[in-house]
Amino acid sequence: MIFLSAGWLWLYVVLGVLAAAYVALQFARKRYAVRFTNLALLSIVAPSRPGWRRHLAPALFLIMMGLLIFAAARPADAVRVPRDRATIMIAVDISLSMEAQDVAPTRLVAARQAAEQFVKDLPERFNVGLVSFARSAAVVVSPTTDHLAVTTAIQNLTTRPGTAIGEAVFNSIEAIRSFDQRAVTDPPPSAIVLLSDGDNTSGRSVNDAIEAALAVRIPVSTIAYGTPDGTVDIDGRPVNVPVNKATLQSLSDGTGGRAYTAESGSELRDVYSQIGTSLGYRVVHQEVTQRFVIAAVIAGVLLAGTAMALGSRFP
């Protein structure tokens, strides 16, 4: 919680002084009663003592004033609100290494299934696009609210040689910046989610992609997908295709995104779920003054009722 007008909180010093003065006054009254030595006469004059009840009204007064000071400081809670005009580009590696079967049934099939569910779970108002990359990258679907078109395109992805991670980022940025006229002068909140299992083997470098993403303030979150033991058959012999996590980590760190790893279909679905939650909402501070004003009003009503019922006086 933060305070939008925190200066009002200094009034708690005044309130503390009042509370201390009231406590001091109670001790002064006790000392005065002790000096009244004729106890028999005192019991006749004041046969019953109000006890704790006489403190109830002052306590309610202090509570009411404390709540009003808190409200005057305009407290605000952090809340999640849906992003408007959000645009997400999903970049999927379709290199031959994605045919590895260390993730059942294959890396690519499991990746397609998880990406489809990710798109289905996004808010309908989101613009979603798809980029595939192997030796080169291509925008398969430009950013659109037609999520069915994106999931259909994901289902049709097939493997090809090469891995152009840098080109995938450049193509994703271009798609975000050019999908409508407003995006040129007033870019929407955007992000790129890139899934890959390999290193950058063709096209522009990852460092170039980092600079380009930073220039337009588009974070790239990466998913390193697969296990160290993955293999594919090339010319009839198995070739090991381990995941290169370092390259993807540098891309996410360099652009302000987040790096994830997944070694199974279920882990990949969990990762996409986390990404969807973080990209789908933004955190803002929403003023919650009213709840403290209401509490102060309730305390004030209790104060008035107590004062009338017990005949209490403020010190």
CB neighbour class for 281 (10 Å; exposed up to 12, middle 13-18, buried from 19): middle
Return d(Cα 183, Cα 34) in angstroms, integer.
Answer: 81
- Give the closest residue to 211 by CA, choosing from 180, 169, 239: 169
Note the pTM of the prediction, 2 decimals. 0.64
> Mean pLDDT over all residues of the chain?
82
pLDDT at 48: 52
Task: Give alpha helix (H) positions in the chain.
Answer: 11-35, 39-45, 56-72, 107-121, 147-155, 165-178, 181-185, 206-216, 245-255, 265-280, 289-310
pLDDT at 35: 55
pLDDT at 282: 64
> Identity (one letter) of the amino acid at 127?
N
For domain 83-263, the CATH class is alpha beta
Question: Please, which pLDDT band fits residue 314 given cuts at 50, 70 and 90?
Answer: very low
> Identity (one letter) of the amino acid at 283?
V
Domain assignments of the chain as residue spans, ordered by start: 2-78+288-310, 83-263
Return d(Cα 217, Cα 189) in angstroms, integer.
Answer: 9
Return d(Cα 82, Cα 280) in angstroms, integer.
Answer: 6
| Pairing relationship of beta strands 190-196 and 220-225 according to DSSP bridges | parallel
Question: Tokens in use for 284?
Answer: 């803002």
pLDDT at 9: 85
Return d(Cα 173, Cα 193) in angstroms, integer.
Answer: 11
Among 208-212, 216-220, 302-306, the range with the most confident prediction by mean pLDDT is 208-212
Count CB atoms within 10 A of the CB of residue 289. 16
37-41, 266-270, 283-287: the lowest-pLDDT one: 37-41
Return d(Cα 79, Cα 281) in angstroms, integer.
Answer: 9
pLDDT at 33: 53
The helix (H) or strand (E) run that includes residue 234 is strand 231-234
72-81, 87-96, 116-125, 228-237: the lowest-pLDDT one: 72-81
First to last CA, the chain: 34
pLDDT at 315: 46
Q: pLDDT by residue (tens digit) across 35-68?
A: 555 555 555 555 555 566 667 777 888 888 888 8
- Give the closest residue to 164 by CA, choosing from 132, 139, 193: 132
What percent of the chain stands above pLDDT 70? 80
pLDDT at 50: 54
pLDDT at 312: 47
